[in-house]
Amino acid sequence: MLVTGGAGFIGSHVVTALRERGHEPVVFDVRSDPAADVRAPDAVRAALAGVDAVCHQAAMVGLGTGFADAPEYVSRNDLGTAVLLAAMAEAGVGRLVLAGSMVVYGEGRYVCAEHGVVRPGPRDEADLAAGRFEPPCPVCGAALAPGLVAEDAPADPRNVYATTKLAQEHLAAAWARVTGGSAVSLRYHNVYGPGMPRDTPYAGVASFFRSALARGEAPRVFEDGNQRRDFVHVRDVASANVAALEADPRAGVLTAYNTGSGTPHTVGDLAHALAGAHGGPSPVVTGEFRLGDVRHITADSARLRAELGWKPEITFEEGMREFANMV
């Protein structure tokens, strides 16, 4: 099977996990070969020869540096996916596992004591600047209780990256309907672990914190540190990809699965766990914010566990100790 982005952070772990299960993954990645670009039709057609499934990990990730990144995100994520799917249709390759993302949901699930489940709108810059980080009920303005998001929650992407990840799913669903192929989107939550990109605007928060500690600096925590996320280890994500590739296919549809640990932690928890494991300075809560960020987003991964028999094996504490002390 073909693994696009197979030399990258998550892709390289997927390749290792597939080999351990006796599969023969073929890596297609511009890191190892500049010609291996999913936007290049001839290169993709050649890579699909003899392939029976595709695990599509190649993407431009992270929140980025502003809207100026939009053309590059759309090109790499959406044009690249369209070129790949067109080549798969031509070659008769009928199975796809897509690296999806929880960012397609926007804000997470919220419950108002009076109005039940509600969907708060984008947070206001003036509120954030004043330190009012929690989104209020859009009906009455009361405080909300965050909860777990299921796969049937409405999509509401809040930044360019999120928009491209949702478009990838729509393209894959259209491909499945037209070709009768099987498509799975694994909606990754906050993936961390060995090989995580470092010191770029596109890296994840765990990487930023670890890099600060490696420099002897305190991790800088945005907002008040109480943002809830689901931090899932990259090896668990790799095993979810294997489970999806080995499962009985569902023809003609795209099936989405939340892929998280199932145990929410705050960003502050993350910073303190890494600092403690590394033996570095305590985190500093800065009150800074990024407009494209959401407040709380955590997953209900019950469908993935029930339907594919997957479960995470690496605890938050174990994963943080390993990640904090990587060379």
The predicted model scores a pTM of 0.94
Strands of the sheet with 145-149, listed across from one edge: 116-118, 109-112, 145-149, 298-299
Give the distance, in angstroms, between the CA of residue 126 and the centroid of all CA atoms in the same chain: 29
Q: What is the pLDDT of residue 121?
A: 86
C-alpha to C-alpha distance for 65 and 122, rounded to whole angstroms: 19
The secondary structure of residue 78, as a DSSP letter, is I
Range of the domain at 224: 2-109+147-325
pLDDT in tens, 57-70: 999 987 666 788 99
pLDDT reading at 197 higher than 90: no
How many domains are there within the chain? 1
Whichever domain contains 35, its CATH number is 3.40.50.720
Residue 134 lies inside a defined structural domain of this protein: no
CB neighbour list of residue 23: distance below 8 Å, 6 or more residues apart: 1, 242, 245
C-alpha to C-alpha distance for 185 and 206, rounded to whole angstroms: 23
- Beta-bridge mates of residue 26: 2
Residue 312 lies inside a defined structural domain of this protein: yes
pLDDT in tens, 252-309: 999 999 999 999 999 999 999 999 999 999 999 999 998 878 899 998 999 999 999 9
Residue 217 lies inside a defined structural domain of this protein: yes
pLDDT in tens, 89-143: 999 999 999 999 999 999 999 999 999 999 998 899 999 999 999 999 999 999 9
Residue 240 lies inside a defined structural domain of this protein: yes
pLDDT reading at 203 higher than 70: no
Confirm if 224 and 285 have CB atoms less than 8 A apart.
Answer: yes
